[in-house]
Chain A
């Protein structure tokens, strides 16, 4: 058996309208990983996910899931994958419960066992009391949870989440994070795409960034923190600033009389505080304008 949950080898995708969505990409995701797959709008994330889950055809290249080629053993591979697609794909005319039973049926799960699983999943996701409703009667956040429930009915070893928390409120998002972490701890490999980089930072150990159909970064989250580049700090002072402070190697912008932005690629936070102190400027607070992942992301996907 392969070490990896996913192996993508020289994968190309050209859509019927001749859009080249993927440009010979190579990517592996380890078993048991909680992997962030990031990129700006239109980068090709959903295309990759569509291909892994057999919703999009391959132009050339190969994809293996737990060592099995998805084109050679589609039925075997599909048993291992749970997909939460970016767009809702809910049958509007039947209830949550009925949809869940249908999907269980497609995976060959007997009715009695399906009933147990559905009870457990809908409760875990907090939509058990909505089971007799149709998707039209659910809020956006409830529909997202239903999409997650649908993906998990057959206990997949690999869960693919394409922006699972889009349009979800803060509290629910935090709950979902816990839920994903717990699944991951139980051994489920998870791939997550999101535009909330904080989400990726909180949850994921490894990541890849895709831009215009090319993988532009593959690394661990720790490596991202070690990449040396510019930081911008927002500094709040306790006294009003008289004129503009000047520090070597720093670019300083005054925002208002108590606030300035300091951009540097050499100095640490302590250095800055010290220099300011020397100039008799008392620092009330200092914070990183962007988090590190965001900086790397913007740098790599900037045109």
Chain B
């Protein structure tokens, strides 16, 4: 068990952790800088004119969304970047010729993405604490949601990496799908205060459930039903994991 599973898993996770930790200026710092900008622009310049939403200052209201946004993009980018580059350099062959089970390879890469998600999430949270006295209402739910979010998007990043044929392909999904869904997912506004048609459209946006559930953990305000949100997020994660595992087992994109 130790030899077949634990050591290989540890090895992949440490490799993935070191990969992003060594280049933290490119992997962690940008989100921190962006967080500063968001807080200054939306929190101070604009936020004062908007006033309160649901008894929170505008800045406090958007903070959970501002934290989960980089968790989404970083966990995704970590796995898609790392796995694609190991395909590109062919170093993925080192894993393919070794007896590591596919589940462990996949979990190893996903864990790397989750660690990056947490690293960025914590870094931007530290920034936040300089500007507000907000206290996290339900720390366990917040941590759980961060975990689920990072897991979901790491898995999605893995699938993207399997299909990518060029370096450009790894930016298509983040730019054209993730970013719009994130901006429309209720980070900067309350979905339940939107006109009904937009509310209905948002029901099909998985990121809306994530932002809502994360905000519930953080601020304690329930916008979309929390149990239903967790169910949706868990189901999507499960489905993506099964897809990723079957792609890996079939050797799509990695075996000729």
Contacts and interface: CB of A to CB of B under 8 A. Distances in A.
A90 to B, nearest CB: 6
Contact of B86 (A15, A75, A91, A150): A91
Contact of A106 (B89, B90, B94, B251): B94
A55 B8 contact: no
Q: Say whether chain A's binding surface is mostly helix, strand, loop, or mixed.
A: loop
A106 B98 contact: yes
Interface residues of A, number: 35
Interface string B76-101: 00000000001001111111111111
Nearest to B104: A106
A150 B2 contact: no
A90 B97 CA distance: 14
A154 B133 CA distance: 55
A105 interface: yes
A50 B256 contact: yes
Given A15-B256, A92-B89, A106-B94, A78 B11 contact: no
Size category, B interface: 20 to 34
A78 to B, nearest CB: 4
Contact of B15 (A76, A102, A109): A102
Nearest to B10: A105
A93 B91 CA distance: 11
Nearest to B19: A93
Contacts of B8: 105-108
A16 B101 CA distance: 25
Contacts of A287: none
A107 B90 contact: no
25 contacts: A50-B256, A54-B96, A55-B93, A55-B255, A57-B256, A78-B98, A85-B93, A88-B90, A89-B92, A94-B15, A101-B11, A102-B11, A102-B15, A103-B94, A105-B8, A105-B10, A106-B11, A106-B95, A106-B100, A107-B8, A108-B2, A108-B3, A108-B99, A110-B7, A150-B94
Interface of B: 2-4, 7-8, 10-12, 15, 19, 86, 89-101, 251, 255-256
